[in-house]
Chains A and B, each alone.
Chain A
Amino acid sequence: MNVLLVEDYQELAKEIVDFLTKNGYLCKWVSSQAEALEEISVNEYDAMLLDLGLPDGDGFDVLKDIRKKQAKTAVIVITARGELNDKIDGLQLGADDYLTKPFALTELGARLFAVIRRTHGISTNEIDIHNFKIQLQDYRVTFEEEIINLTKKEFDIFQYLVLNKNRVITRLQLTEHIWGDILELNSDSNFIDVHVRNLRKKLEKFAKIDWFETVRNVGYRINM
C-alpha cells in the first residue's frame, strides 16, 4: 500500500519513511504544501500522514483538497500544536485520526493500518474470507489453523484485493499500489500475473477459490 507523508521536518520524515518501508508500505515523502497538493492530484494513495504546520501553508488546505478528490484515502493528521481545536478541525475536515508529536512509531503503524482498514469498511485486523483467515499487517494467511506460506508480494496482492473486495482491480492499479510509481512503461506486463498465478495455486491447495476471479483483459476481483 502506498502512503504519502507530508512532513517538513526532515529527521522525523526519514525515520517515518524507514519505519513504514520496513513494514511493507510504499512511502512517498514531500515536505511542502505545494508538493503535497501536486502529489494528491496526480497519484492515488491509500493513506496520507499530514503534518499541519508546513512552511508554505496550512495542512488543512491539503486535507480539504484530498477530501474533494480521493474519498478512499485514509488521512492521519500529525500535529505538534497539541491544541484541541486543531484536532477537532482536522477530524471535522475529514481526517480519520490524529497523532500528537512526539509519538512512538509503533503507535503510528497501528493507527495507520487501523484507518486504512476502516476506510475499506473492515473493522478488525483479522478477516475471514471463505474459511481463509487473513491477518492483515502480520503477513499471515491461514486455512483452518494451517499457515499458508506466501511471499511478500503475493501477500500484498491478496491483501489489496481483500481490502478492495467486490471491485475489479486492474493490473495497473496493482502495480501502482504494490510496486509503486514505476516510471518505465512495461509495468503492465505479465509479471503481476505470475504472482497472482502463484498465489492462486497456493490457495487452491486448500479449497476451491471461485471467489477469486480473474476478469479477462482487465484484472482481478475477490468477491465476498
Chain B
Amino acid sequence: MVIWLSLPILIEKVVYKRIDATLLEKKEKFTEHLDKQEINDFLNRNDATETYSSFSTLHNEFLQLYQSKKTSKSAASFFKNEARIIEGEQSDYRVLYYDFVYENTNYKLEIGSSLSEIKDLTFAIRVFILIVLSIVIVFTFLVDAFFIEYLLKPFHQIINQKIRHVNEPEKFNYTTIQSHSTDFQELDEVLNQMMKRIQELFSIEKQFIANVSHELLSPIALLKNRFENLIQNESLDEEAVNKIVSSLRTLDLLKKIINNLLLISRIENNQYITDEVIECKGLLEDIREELQDRMEEKAIRFQIDLKENYHFTGNKTLIHIMFYNVITNAIKFTEQGGSITVADAKTSSQYAITIKDNGCGMAQEQIDEIFNRFTRLNVHKEGQGLGLAIVKSIADFHQIEIAVTSELQKGSAFEFVFQTGKYRN
C-alpha cells in the first residue's frame, strides 16, 4: 500500500527531473546561438505583441520569448507548473522561465513541456500497480494459507490424536507425529512425556485402590469367617452370641463402606468399560423383580410406566446400581402402602426417566446435600449415606444429568436426563 501510494510521487519526481533537464538543455541550445538578429527575427515575426511563440504540432512543447520590462541583474532560471491555453486548448505544462539581458534589453524566455502525458502515465502506473498488488496480495494469502496449513498439520495431528477425544490414560496414543519442524517434534515429545507421567500416576492410583481393597477387605473376611464359626459353639451364652452377631454386623457395615468407596473411586478413575447396550425398560423390570419382596413387605405399589423403548451404551452393572440405589432409597423413605412410579418423557434431543415416590420428601437444603458422601437425611434409618453419592458418580460417568425435586411430606422425584443427540463417548 505504501509502495502504491509513494511510487507515483517518486515517478513524478524523476519525470520532473528529466523534463527539467531537457528544458534546460533546450534553453542552452536556444540561447547558445542567440544574437540580436535572431531575437529580432523572433520578435519581428510577431510584431504586434513583441512576443515570439513557437509550438510543436502536438502542443506538447512550446517556446516563448518576449521583452520584459522588469530588470534583472543576472541571468536566472526557475521551473514552475502552470496551466496554459494554447490555441484554445488548456493543458498543464512544466515551464522553464529564464530571464536574460541582451544588449541592455530584458528578455524573458519560457520553454514548456506538456504534463498531460505524464499525468496519463502516472495514472496508468497507479492502475497497473494496484492490479499487480492485489494479485500479489491474493496470491500470497493463498500461498500462506496453504503453507500454514501444511506447517501446522503436525500441530492439528497432535491435538486430535493426543489431546482431544482422549479421556482415559489407557487410550493415550504415543505414536510419534511426523513433522518437519523441530518445534513440533519437541512439543510432541514433551506431550508424550507428560502423558506417560499421567499414566504412571494413574496406574499407581489404581494399584493403590487394588491394594487397599485387598489389604482392608481380607482381614474383614477372615474375622467374619471366624465369628461365623464361633457362633456355632453351643456352649456360648446368649449375651456372647449377641455380641458376636453385633460384631458381624459391624464388619458387614465396614465391608460395604469400603466396597462403596472403592466403587466410587473406580468409577471416577474410569475403570469401567462402557460398551454395553442398555435397555432401560428391561433393566428396571429386573430391578422390580429383585426388590419385589421388599416392596411387598411395605405394601408399596411399584409402577413402571415407560412409553419409549430407550437404548443407550454404557456399563450395565453401573446403570443397574444407579437405578437400584435410587429405588431402594425411595422404598426406604416411603411409608407403608405408598407408591413409586417410573415414567419417561422424550424430546428431540433428550430422554428422561423419572422415579417418583410419595414418601416423606426433603427440604430444599437437604436436596443440595444428598449427593455428598456420608450425608444421611434421617439418622434413624439405616444406611451410610453413600448410595446417592454412587448414583451421582455413575450418572456423571455416563453423562446423565440428575434433577431432584421434592416436597416435604409429599414425596421426591429423581429425574435422569439422557442426551440423545449428542456424541457419546
A residues touching B (Cβ–Cβ < 8 Å)? 34, 37-38, 41-44, 69, 153, 167-168, 170, 172-173, 179, 181, 183-191, 194-195, 215-218
Task: Give the distance to chain A from B113, nearest Cβ to Cβ, in Å.
Answer: 97
Residue of A nearest to B251 (CB): A172
- Whether the Cβ atoms of B241 and A217 lie closer than 8 Å is yes
| Those of B369-399 within 8 Å (CB) of chain A | 381-384, 387, 390
Task: Give the distance to chain B from A132, nearest Cβ to Cβ, in Å.
Answer: 23
The answer, among B210, B225, B238, B390, for a CB contact under 8 Å with A34, is B210
Instruction: Determine whether B57 belongs to the interface, using a CB cutoff of 8 Å to chain A.
Output: no
Instruction: Determine whether B221 belongs to the interface, using a CB cutoff of 8 Å to chain A.
Output: yes
Q: Which residues of A contact B248 (CB under 8 A)?
A: 170, 172
Q: Which residues of A contact B222 (CB under 8 A)?
A: 69
| Those of B279-331 within 8 Å (CB) of chain A | 290, 293-294, 296-297, 321, 325, 328
Instruction: Determine whether B104 belongs to the interface, using a CB cutoff of 8 Å to chain A.
Output: no
- Whether the Cβ atoms of A173 and B228 lie closer than 8 Å is yes
Q: Which residues of B contact A188 (CB under 8 A)?
A: 249, 252, 382
- Whether the Cβ atoms of B214 and A41 lie closer than 8 Å is yes
Knowing A183-B259, A190-B297, the reply to whether A168 touches B232 (Cβ < 8 A) is yes
Task: Give the distance to chain A from B332, nearest Cβ to Cβ, in Å.
Answer: 7
B residues touching A (Cβ–Cβ < 8 Å)? 210, 213-214, 217-218, 220-222, 224-225, 228, 231-232, 238, 241-242, 245, 248-249, 252-253, 255-256, 259-260, 263, 290, 293-294, 296-297, 321, 325, 328, 332, 381-384, 387, 390
Residue of A nearest to B215 (CB): A41
- Whether the Cβ atoms of A185 and B214 lie closer than 8 Å is no
The answer, among A179, A185, A190, A218, for a CB contact under 8 Å with B241, is A218
Residue of A nearest to B321 (CB): A183
What are some 24 contacts across the A-B interface (CB < 8 A)? A34-B210, A37-B214, A41-B221, A42-B259, A167-B232, A168-B232, A170-B228, A170-B245, A170-B248, A183-B256, A183-B263, A183-B390, A184-B325, A184-B387, A185-B256, A185-B383, A186-B332, A188-B249, A188-B252, A188-B382, A189-B382, A216-B238, A217-B241, A217-B245
Task: Give the distance to chain B from A64, nearest Cβ to Cβ, in Å.
Answer: 15
Q: Which residues of A contact B381 (CB under 8 A)?
A: 186
Knowing A186-B332, A194-B297, A218-B245, the reply to whether A42 touches B321 (Cβ < 8 A) is no
The 7 closest A-B pairs by CB, nearest first: A186-B382, A42-B217, A41-B218, A191-B294, A191-B297, A218-B245, A185-B383
